[in-house]
Every structure is written in structure tokens, then in C-alpha cells.
Structure 1
């Protein structure tokens, strides 16, 4: 999944792709790099970010969505929690709704419609407060409890669990150690039998290990796939796809040799 932020204040690339021309260039580059789906977002959810108004988000997202759909034959995800944005995107038949608030805002479940996949992310708190001393008694137990509650709520709202993708929320209300523990323990979420999406790309936690954020992001993607992730949300598509291709070739060869 290639990230297309159309915001002025995203933590890594804010303001770079707000114009349609720049957004189309970046989309083309990500498709050429091997992206399977493009995730368009009009709200920065970095720690402490101000939430845009409904109209601001619509004005950011819809022209870019229209332009990308007109130019490219690629599945599109909309990264939004706002029911009006979700509804508008669903009416344009996007492939996925990616919601960091897991469709908890009033009207969000009904806005999704009948067809799009839905990525539900766990976040402790809100973007404004999530990194203020996050605390867990049982990291995996609490996240699994959250997913259980949200899956049940969505099923009651008419969204079949087969449409759901789960994201444990790397960097969203977790400490550095908890972030890395999540990646090591992705198998803890297999109880839901749903695909896992992981977004490690350019996160500040990775900078505690190395200042080379590209290498850190690619390494994180490889670790997530090795741990069981099905979908990797990244800024640097070409580098990630290339590294995954080498990793897959090595391990597929080993499996073939070992007969496993």
C-alpha cells in the first residue's frame, strides 16, 4: 500500500502532494514501484495534530481521488475517520476505507456502504493525546479486546467480518518498547483470522535505532511480513517492494529445498 498524504502537516511529507499535479506524479511513481493499492489521506494523525474540519478534509481528498481514479487503474483506499468523507469515497467505489479510529465516530459504520474493505486500527486515546504516557496492563489482551468489540459492532451494523483488515496501530498510543513488541507478537492477532495491516514507514520509533529512515522503514516492513503481516503501508514503495522480492526469493528457495 502506497501512502499519498494530501495534507499540509503530515509528519513526514506534509504539503508535498496537495496539488493534483504533484499527487498524480507521486501516484504514478508508486504504481511504477509496485504498489498494489494507493491510500489517500486528508488528515494528519501524527501526535498532537489538529483535526481538520469536515469541509477541509473533503476539499483536500475529493479532487485528488477524482484525479487518481480518472488517470490510473489502481485500487484506492481512503484514510479517513470522517463519515462524510467515507460516504463520498464509498459512493465513488473505492476499494478500502482505512480508519485510524476504527469507525467509532457517529455515523461512520453506516457511511461505509456495502462493498469496500475496512481497515480497523487500534489507537489508545486520540492523535492529540495518544503519546502522553501510554499505558497497558496487557498489551495484546487489550488490543484484542478492542478488536473483538469493534468487529462485533461492525457486524451488528451490517459489515461482514470478511471485509475487515486489522491494524494494531504501530505508533498510535504505544511506547517504543510496545511498538517493537507488537511486531514480534503479530501472531497474537491470528485468533481473528483476518489479514493484518502494518504501518511502520518513517515512524519516529524507528529513528531511535538509526537516522537512515529509509533503511529503517524497509527493515521494519520485512520484519512485519516475516511476522505475518499481509499488507504493508509505506511511503517508499519501490525500495520496499524490491527488498520484499529478494526476501521472498530467498525464503521461497529455502522452503522448496527443505520441502516445507
Structure 2
């Protein structure tokens, strides 16, 4: 029976001499939880880990677009869709979207994630041509800004990358368009593989898993290996468990609770929870625009488990929360 190892992440000082660094960052672990498909979970010392597993959990992650990932990075959401669940109805002209993008960068974003097709539950796909018409002018207008293109389609990714995008973020985990993986590998593009069960139109109808944490891990592991086989090195692969994409509230919470398991893939972890429905239900905030406090709380819980990239709507509030979080964690070591 296969073993899955989840580091039990800590950041308090003093750090024990036998602690292993988590993904080369400031967090560390001395113990792991061993998960098995029979449902058992056991606590083990990190010294019991197989050497290859320990190496993958502790190795420093490669920089993303020149940005070191030993501190959390903020990916700002820039939708250019008329029907987004969070900001549908805003002015999404390319000029206005570019202005919003520059504002987000000024507020403290590290990169922008530009999407032209809504993937909210129940949404329908649009043609590549329509998606390109929405995204390509915005990417071009934001020349010089670190940009990720949020798309499932090779044609859209190609147009965006020619215009200046440098990362591909695929919510289908490279299952929607069979040639997108080859395009990214051939061009050496960093790729974020996200897990989703089903497509946006039907994904929330009846999601089910044998073990959501391990099932999502297996999918991401398979897709990362597929990219490697096509020639894309693992240091250009990012993984995202896909909170809210084909998951119930219980599934989302199980993934968030066990998030550190995904460090075993040897890739940076991207966490996208901003304004999601479960935050509204638990936090009693029916309107997406009122979910910033809950979104930040969950993002910080993910950072506590070592997530390297957080995808957010509310950049300024998140940046402030992160600054205070870091100050408290560092205590007397923080600059006066």
C-alpha cells in the first residue's frame, strides 16, 4: 500500500537542529503524517522518511519569473469577463482593465492572472477567438508587468504569450485542450496545473472522491509527470488543488487542512480561495465583495502550511495582512 507523507509544518523558534526546511523556505518540520488509502494516518519522525521524499519536501523551489519563492507571492486576479462571479458587470474594456491591473501592482501584487473566460460553477465555455479578443489587448497594454494567462486553450495561451504573458494557469490541469501541454513544454513556459473534477458547467452537480486529499494529489502528480515527459522541467511546474472546482465544502476544508501534503510533489503550491462560496457560507457573507476577511484568513492558513503563491482579489488588504503576519512571526527579529 502506498504511503503519502504530509509534513507537519512549524515556524516557531528556536528551530530544532534535526528539523528539515520546508521547500527551502523559513518553515520547517520534524514530523510528518503518513496517509494511506485505507484511511489510516500515523505520525512519524521526519528521520523515517525515504531519502527521495525528504529531498523533495525540503528542496528550495526555483524562482518564478525571477521572484524567489521563499516568501509568499501575491497573484492578483484580473478578470476581463462580463460574467465573473465576483466582479461581473465591471468595465472590462482593455484600457480600463489595464488601468486596474496597474493599480493592483501598485497595491502590492507580484504578478497578474488575466482571464477572459468565466469558470464559475454553471458557466459555459466560449470560443478561443472571443477569449483572445478579451485578453490579448489587455496583456499587450500591460507590457513589462509579470503576467499569467488564465486559460484552458492553447490558442489563447499562444496569443497571450506573444503579447507578453509568461506563465500559463490552466484550471483544467491540462485536460481540456490536449495540445496546451506540448505548447508550454516546447516554449519552456511555467505552468500552473490545477485540479478540477468535471468542467465548470457541471462540476458542482455531484462531486465525489474516494479520498479527496489523495485523489487530488494523484492527479497533480500524474499531470506533473506528463509535463516532465514532454520536456518541461519540474522547476517550472506549479500545482493548485483547485479549491471550489468540483468540490463540496467538506472537500475544500479537507484539502485546506491537508495542504502541506502537496509539497511532496516538489513544486510550488498556488492557493486560490479568494471570495469562494464556502467562505461566504461559513463566514455568513452572501455577497462575494464582502468576503475579503474570510479570504485573507484562509490564505494565511495556507501560507502557514507553506503555500508559496496566493491568488487574490483584494490585494491591498492581503498585502497588509501578510505584512502583519510576518511581523508577528518574526517577533524580535523583525526590523524596528
Q: Would you call these one fold, judging by a TM-score over 0.5?
A: yes
Q: Provide runs of 4+ in structure 1 moved above 6 Å.
A: none
SS at match of 2:327: helix
Separation in structure 2 between the aligned mates of residue 17 and residue 83 of structure 1, nearest angstrom = 26
Q: What does residue 98 of structure 2 align with?
A: 24
Q: How many residues align?
A: 253
Q: What does residue 80 of structure 1 align with?
A: 151
Q: What does residue 193 of structure 1 align with?
A: 266
Q: What does residue 67 of structure 1 align with?
A: 141
What is the CA distance between 1:114 and its match in structure 2? 2.2
What is the CA distance between 1:16 and its match in structure 2? 1.6
The alignment's TM-score, normalised by the length of structure 2, stands at 0.73
Separation in structure 1 between the aligned mates of residue 231 and residue 117 of structure 2, nearest angstrom = 26
Q: What does residue 280 of structure 2 align with?
A: 207
The alignment's TM-score, normalised by the length of structure 1, stands at 0.93
Q: What does residue 35 of structure 1 align with?
A: 109
Q: What does residue 324 of structure 2 align with?
A: 246
Separation in structure 1 between the aligned mates of residue 91 and residue 107 of structure 2, nearest angstrom = 17
Larger radius of gyration: 2
- Write the deviation string for residues 55-84 of structure 1: whole angstroms up to 9, x where unpaired: 110111111111111xxx320000001110
Q: Would you say 1:106 and 2:178 are equivalent positions?
A: yes
Q: What does residue 126 of structure 1 align with?
A: 199
- Write the deviation string for residues 153-205 of structure 1: whole angstroms up to 9, x where unpaired: 11122211110000000000111011112111111112112110011101111
Q: What does residue 91 of structure 1 align with?
A: 162
Higher helix share: 1
For the Cα contact (< 8 Å) 1:84–1:111, is it kept in 2? no
For the Cα contact (< 8 Å) 2:136–2:163, is it kept in 1? no
Separation in structure 2 between the aligned mates of residue 153 and residue 224 of structure 1, nearest angstrom = 26
1:237 is aligned, of 295, 315, 318, to: 315
Q: Would you say 1:162 and 2:235 are equivalent positions?
A: yes
What is the CA distance between 1:93 and its match in structure 2? 4.4
SS at match of 1:229: coil
User: Which blocks of at least 5 consecutive residues in structure 2 are unaligned?
Assistant: 1-74
2:306 is aligned, of 228, 242, 250, to: 228
SS at match of 1:233: strand
For the Cα contact (< 8 Å) 1:93–1:116, is it kept in 2? no
For the Cα contact (< 8 Å) 1:102–1:121, is it kept in 2? yes
2:89 is aligned, of 6, 12, 15, to: 15
Once structures 1 and 2 are overlaid, which stretch shifts more, 109-118 or 25-34?
109-118
Q: Would you say 1:143 and 2:216 are equivalent positions?
A: yes
